[in-house]
Amino acid sequence: MPSLVWFPVFCPGQPVVWVTCPELLKRFQRIAKISADIPEPYTAAPGLQGRPIEKGRKVLFFNLGFLEIEHDEDLSPWIPIGTDLNPNKLVVVDDNDISMLHDMTLYRQSRVKLLDDMKKVDTERGAFFNTEALPEGSILVFPIGLKQKGWQPFDENDNSSELYFGGLESIGFGRCLVSLAGDYQ
């Protein structure tokens, strides 16, 4: 089962940041065999851009309110291999905050079914439905098992490829850059 590790959050007047929480990092730590300690909630790299407040502390402004950065730490050990995340744009929030931020960042689109012969909503067949997707740039990780040693699913010079995992292709959902890492050769 895929596990979300980092996802982008828009901060008005500031750069986009990628957020995670200790619980998501614990699963990533087990999968990727990372030896670093799990960062405390409200941790970011010292180079994170934010609104400065007293004593060198920073505040980020999300659409839902302000988030004060309480700890500075290098988060580069938590960047998955093969990704190009900037360590200065990573933020660890509390486990209790991640669901609200996740809900805020989902792409949402409402759709209706039209009648076959005219552009009118088909109300008899339950024509209204919504779709949701993770924001572009989200980082997921999951373990896979191999039956054959030396399996090479992608180009021999590259361990990644764009794959389509389903979803609504017409609006771009389901397209993913997949990178293999670890002991698969």
Quick count: other Cβ atoms within 10 Å of Cβ 45? 17
Per-residue pLDDT reduced to its tens digit, 115-149: 778 887 777 766 666 666 677 788 878 777 766 77
User: What does pLDDT average to over the chain?
Assistant: 79
pLDDT value of position 164: 74
**For residue 75, pLDDT beyond 90:** yes
Rounded (10°) angle between helices 95-105 and 22-32? 90
Per-residue pLDDT reduced to its tens digit, 35-66: 999 999 999 988 888 777 877 778 887 766 78
Please list, in sequence order, all residues whose beta carbon lies within 8 angstroms of the beta carbon of residue 70, skipping any fewer than 6 positions away.
40, 41, 42, 43, 57
Backbone angles phi, psi at 57, to 5 degrees: -85, 165
Cβ-in-10-Å burial (0-12, 13-18, 19+) of 143 comes to: exposed
Q: What is the pTM of this model?
A: 0.75
Quick count: other Cβ atoms within 10 Å of Cβ 38? 17
